[in-house]
């Protein structure tokens, strides 16, 4: 998944820039405005204090490291505001996903990762003004198949 690839690349960029990973996790969010990229991260803001440098300077170091070894489909990285990194994907990433879906045919999306485990899947009514969410609990004794 492209999101996982971007997080892995950010983790590698932090390492190559001699920067620590943030406490918790590296987060990526879809920006509200399209001109801010496909994904945005506040990783530089999260680690700036522990590094002892301004967030924009930390973001610059991450940007240089990320551009030196970019993940597939990363077209551009911009520093925005106080130290956000906006990530722009090349349009070809969607072509690759569609190609993968077509090649897999009916097998696409299938997995045996949870084989043998009990799963409780709950469906809720969709909020017409918000994103749809389906939640699943794996491994609970009361979960049913």
- Whole-angstrom Cα distance, residue 81 to residue 135? 34
29 vs 39: CA distance, rounded Å = 5
Tokens of 112: 């045996």
| Residue 126 clears pLDDT 70, i.e. is over it | no
Region of residue 79 (phi > 0: left; psi between -120 and 50: alpha; otherwise: beta): beta
Q: Which CATH architecture has domain 2-89?
A: 2-Layer Sandwich (3.30)
Per cent of the chain over pLDDT 70 is 84
DSSP state, residue 41: E
- The band of 143, judged by pLDDT with boundaries at 50, 70 and 90, is very low
Q: 125 versus 114: which is more confidently predicted?
A: 114
In the DSSP assignment, the letter for residue 25 is -
φ and ψ of 110, to 5 deg: -90, 150
Predicted confidence (pLDDT) at residue 97 exceeds the cutoff of 80: no
pLDDT for 120 equals: 77
Give the pTM.
Answer: 0.69
Enumerate the domain spans of the chain. 2-89, 112-145
30 closest CA partner among 86, 80, 79, 74? 86
Q: Percent of the chain at pLDDT above 90?
A: 54
* N residues, the chain: 145
pLDDT at residue 60, as a whole number: 97
Three-state DSSP state, 91: coil
């Amino acid at each position: 998944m492209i999101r996982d690839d971007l997080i892995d690349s950010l983790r590698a960029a932090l390492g190559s820039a001699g920067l620590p990973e943030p406490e918790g996790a590296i987060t990526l969010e879809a920006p509200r405005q399209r001109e801010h990229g496909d994904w945005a991260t506040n990783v530089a803001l999260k680690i700036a204090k522990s590094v002892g440098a301004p967030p924009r300077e930390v973001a610059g170091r991450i940007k240089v490291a990320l551009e030196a070894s970019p993940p597939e489909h990363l077209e551009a990285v911009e520093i925005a505001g106080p130290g956000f990194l906006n990530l722009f994907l090349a349009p070809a990433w969607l072509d690759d996903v569609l190609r993968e879906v077509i090649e897999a045919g009916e097998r696409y999306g299938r997995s045996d990762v949870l084989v043998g485990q009990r799963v409780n899947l709950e469906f809720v009514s969709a909020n017409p003004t918000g994103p749809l969410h389906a939640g699943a609990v794996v491994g609970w004794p009361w979960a049913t198949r």
